[in-house]
Structure 1
Amino acid sequence: MLSLLSRSPTFTLLSSLAKRHSLQTTAFTRTLVSFFSSTTATTMSINLEAHAFAGNPIRPKNPKSTDSLSPALALETLKSQLLDDTQNLSSVIFKVLPFRKGRPLASTTISDDGGNDSAPNWHLGWISLADWKGLLANSGVELTGDRLVYLGSRTEGNVVYWAIDVSAEGSLVSDLGSKQFSFVELRTLMVATDWADDGAMGDLAIAGHARALLEWHGLSRFCGHCGEKTVPAEAGRRKQCSNEVCKKRIYPRIDPVVIMLVIDRENDRVLLGRQSRFVPRMWSCLAGFIEPGESLEEAVRRETWEETGIEVGEVVYHSSQPWPVGPSSMPCQLMVGFFAYAKSLEINVDKQELEDAQWHSREAVLKAFSFAEYKKAQKTAAAKVEQMCKGVEKGQSLSADYNVESGELAPMFFPGPFAIAHHLISTWVHQSSTIGLGVQPKQPSTSLSNL
């Protein structure tokens, strides 16, 4: 099979890239197998350019300080426009994304693709600065530049994007609702996002970044060093203590989490866990926060041992994902994904951490993927967002949509393609079984390139 693949143009391209970047042979082979296996997979385990919440289209390299789109100059221009509506000080366009209790403003449109099962597409509820000033004025609220947080810019069209928390302005809900906007929970938008749509994935990344920053602002109102109030700095991208003696700089805190797919010695089974908060029949990878003074690999081994009693040897990096849908007390989580190879098999579950943990065979995992209908769940969530934006909110459990068309319940299912856990499990099961090369998602134990 490998000899046949080596004749393809794709193989030639990947091979040249491997040589250019000095990739090891095993790493290149693993990349090749992953590419070809993804094209034959029967589930939604597609190769994404970036995980959900990554690939933010409006925060590439920061503009130079002399650029009108840079945070400092954009904030100066914005404050000038807030003070005087009549002055045309700049060609820069400002757009504002409001949040309420961690929920971004959203609206929906119906895609016109000629199909009978067209699902609504959600998009962020950007509002121009002038319209936003009018909305707040009607509510008796004064808009100041310190309330806005810089998100990024687009040079095409000279647009600068901002976020604002309006949790205290309850009257805005009805005002925006009359325009068919709604504040929608980020998790709902995550499920409702069509992961094959670059624009929708970009909006999700923007919303995740904005929520993380705004939640952090709410948590960092006081200096942890002296206790005085903090004030926004650098257009809201950091904060500073207002105490002239202290003046401590405060930056958003990142909470790294290791998430690992534990694989047995024979590479035939994976260890999956269930938490009590999971919906019925859902299983996922093990995960846990990194402790101070601990390496990523050490965290993988410790967390696996603490939760399941399984001893882990080799640990291999897969990918990482921003995760802004956790609790508001930890808005800036970063999921760091690994394959972990077990040295023992006997499970001893810590019931305070997990409800259950079991070894699952490749056949069982493949069956679960063949049953699951992630696209159906996405359409259901998209319809829910549309109802909310129309003022008709309807409760529905999304777990009920992971069934086959006949109505038979899936024996188990995994988080959807919006989660790194999905891609860890999918990479293992398809990479190891779809192509009969005997290649495992594993690097030699002497490799130093795991990070």
Structure 2
Amino acid sequence: MVKRAAMLSVSLFFSSSSSHLLFLSKTLTKRTCFSSLATMSINLNAHAFAGNPIRSKTLKAHDPLSPSSAFQSLKTHLLQNPETTSLPPPPKSPLFKVLPFRKGRPLASSSITGNNDDDVPSWHLGWISLPDCKYFLGKCGMDLTEDSLVYLGSKIEDDVVYWAVDVSGESRLVPELGSKQFCFVELRTLMVATDWSDSIAMGELAIAGHARALLEWHNLSRFCGHCGEKTIPKEAGRRKQCSNESCKKRIYPRVDPVVIMLVIDRENDRALLGRQSRFVPRMWSCLAGFIEPGESLEEAVRRETYEEAGIEVGEVVYHSSQPWPVGPSSIPCQLMVGFFAFAKSLEINVDKEELEDAQWHSREDVRKALAVAEYKKAQKTTAAKVDQMCKGVEKGQSLSADFNVESGELAPMFFPGPFAIAHHLISTWANQDVPTDGVKAGSKQPSSSILNL
């Protein structure tokens, strides 16, 4: 079996809404109530990278905002003179906006609203008009064709269609757009810089994630895996097809499912957390792993937990899922599927090729770590960094330096931030009791008695 868990940057940062999981607490009376920590279980309107506001809906082919109609209108636009940026669009044509990407990084800008010295900057996607996109690329000697643009979605109320384009091959665009205070920023950096309480910002993050996943998939699927011939975009870039007339294989965007699980002991007092060697100091997170062909999600949870930590798992309870487009470019979009898993054994046997360490952590220690970790500080610091980058001045910042306690001392441990499903798995368990009645070795507890979905 070829192990891919080492490729999982995903175990650091996942996202979810803890409101998806409502536990029937039967043992709260025997535990101390930490009401002051309730805010640490942050409720999100949508998971990071989910809730895309322009996600393509099923439109009729004749609808002007549908992929096929918009693509035909796009070709008409591209026939206009690239030196002229003020020509009116064709009759009854929607407005086109384009989001350039360079090496997986979306174009972004930054602004500060208000006049207070402590106002935090916020980033925005660097949408440019189709004529401006042609103009900038033309100055760099690059032609913009309809096949280079990928349909992202539309806003019917604004009569706007959104596209993405990969401009990785043209480095001269960087100073050209930089002069307009635009910058190509790592998607992971934008993720940390996003104010998770801002629904508009979360929506822009979801759009950027969707676009990056599609563009990375296009770069990976340039040739047919069946006959080796070149592939050509179809349906405005939403799928590809082999150019070989005797083959014509249809190729669709790829999704790689991954399970991520918080393993809980029989007494519901401790949770199993792991560390990978690439983690920053003091970072702990949930275990995670790719699903193998021919196994169920529950089987993947049990297999990965046993392979990585030597712990046998019985009952597996679903929590939530999240698209994850910030992994390596060879895996364009992972789908994180989150679970609570109840351990049948306690003795840890760490696979050092998978993990650096794995330990049981008490609920009290986890609560303390959640209480002192300054996630908002990390978000504000990263937002300021993006602002500096867009202004042409980049300053380095260590992520681990953003998780100090109020006294300035380093927290003993911390977990992924609120943009991460790992955070919500951990904080939900820490601040609410998971009922364990019937969840003993070899037993089966009905999901309906644990979850109120």
TM-score over 0.5 for the pair = yes
SS at match of 1:108: strand
**For 1:272 and 1:252, how far apart are their aligned partners in 2?**
33
Match of 1:6 in 2: none
Change (3 A) 1:441 1:422: farther
Q: CA deviation at 1:110?
A: 0.4
Correspondence 1:53 to 2:49: yes
**8 Å contact from structure 1 (residues 52, 204) kept in 2:** yes
Change (3 A) 1:377 1:27: closer
Match of 2:259 in 1: 258
**8 Å contact from structure 1 (residues 139, 171) kept in 2:** yes
Match of 1:145 in 2: 146
1:207-226 aligned at under 5 Å gives the runs 207-226=208-227
Superposed CA deviations along residues 285-312 of structure 1, whole A, max 9, x for unmatched, are: 0000000000000000000000000000
SS at match of 2:432: helix
- Number of residue equivalences: 416
Change (3 A) 1:402 1:82: same
Q: CA deviation at 1:357?
A: 0.2
Match of 1:393 in 2: 394
Match of 1:69 in 2: 65
Q: CA deviation at 1:43?
A: 4.6
Superposed CA deviations along residues 147-168 of structure 1, whole A, max 9, x for unmatched, are: 0000000011100000000000
Q: CA deviation at 1:90?
A: 2.9
Q: Kindly, what percent of the aligned residue pairs are identical? A: 75
1:173-184 aligned at under 5 Å gives the runs 173-184=174-185
**For 1:170 and 1:413, how far apart are their aligned partners in 2?**
38
Query: Which letter maps to 2:186?
Result: E
Q: CA deviation at 1:47?
A: 1.0
Match of 2:7 in 1: none
Match of 1:445 in 2: 444
**8 Å contact from structure 1 (residues 81, 89) kept in 2:** no
Q: CA deviation at 1:42?
A: 4.9
Correspondence 1:195 to 2:196: yes
Matching residue within 92, 96, 120 for 1:90: 92
**8 Å contact from structure 1 (residues 268, 361) kept in 2:** yes
Query: Which letter maps to 2:400?
Result: S
Correspondence 1:108 to 2:107: no
Query: Which letter maps to 2:127?
Result: W
**8 Å contact from structure 1 (residues 95, 128) kept in 2:** yes
**8 Å contact from structure 1 (residues 431, 440) kept in 2:** no
1:44-443 aligned at under 5 Å gives the runs 44-59=40-55, 61-84=57-80, 86=87, 88-112=90-114, 115-432=116-433, 439=435
Query: Which letter maps to 1:447?
Result: P
**For 2:129 and 2:407, how far apart are their aligned partners in 1?**
47
SS at match of 2:158: coil
Q: CA deviation at 1:374?
A: 0.2
Q: CA deviation at 1:44?
A: 3.8
SS at match of 2:302: helix
**8 Å contact from structure 1 (residues 67, 73) kept in 2:** yes
**8 Å contact from structure 1 (residues 38, 45) kept in 2:** no
Query: Which letter maps to 1:56?
Result: N
**For 1:332 and 1:233, how far apart are their aligned partners in 2?**
20
Name the stretch that deviates more: 80-89 or 335-344.
80-89
**For 2:413 and 2:438, how far apart are their aligned partners in 1?**
26
SS at match of 1:156: helix
Query: Which letter maps to 2:50?
Result: A
Change (3 A) 1:448 1:264: closer
Superposed CA deviations along residues 335-381 of structure 1, whole A, max 9, x for unmatched, are: 00000000000000000000000000001000101110000000110
**8 Å contact from structure 1 (residues 152, 162) kept in 2:** yes
**For 2:438 and 2:253, how far apart are their aligned partners in 1?**
34
Query: Which letter maps to 2:279?
Result: F
**8 Å contact from structure 1 (residues 320, 336) kept in 2:** yes
Name the stretch that deviates more: 85-94 or 209-218.
85-94
Change (3 A) 1:400 1:440: farther
**8 Å contact from structure 1 (residues 184, 385) kept in 2:** yes
Superposed CA deviations along residues 81-135 of structure 1, whole A, max 9, x for unmatched, are: 11025562334000000000000000001022x6542110001000011111111
Q: What is the aligned-residue RMSD (CA, Å)?
A: 2.2
Query: Which letter maps to 2:280?
Result: V
**For 2:407 and 2:208, how far apart are their aligned partners in 1?**
36
Name the stretch that deviates more: 40-49 or 150-159.
40-49
Query: Which letter maps to 2:444?
Result: S
Q: CA deviation at 1:28?
A: 7.3
**For 2:35 and 2:220, how far apart are their aligned partners in 1?**
44
Query: Which letter maps to 2:64?
Result: S
Superposed CA deviations along residues 237-258 of structure 1, whole A, max 9, x for unmatched, are: 1100000000000001110000
- Structure 2: gaps of 5 or more residues: 1-19, 82-86
Q: CA deviation at 1:446?
A: 5.0
Q: TM-score, normalised by structure 1?
A: 0.88
Match of 1:4 in 2: none
Query: Which letter maps to 2:62?
Result: T
Q: CA deviation at 1:40?
A: 5.5
Change (3 A) 1:441 1:228: farther
Match of 1:435 in 2: none
Q: CA deviation at 1:263?
A: 0.1
Match of 1:18 in 2: none
**8 Å contact from structure 2 (residues 404, 411) kept in 1:** yes
Q: CA deviation at 1:442?
A: 9.5
**8 Å contact from structure 1 (residues 59, 151) kept in 2:** yes
- Structure 1: gaps of 5 or more residues: 1-22, 433-437
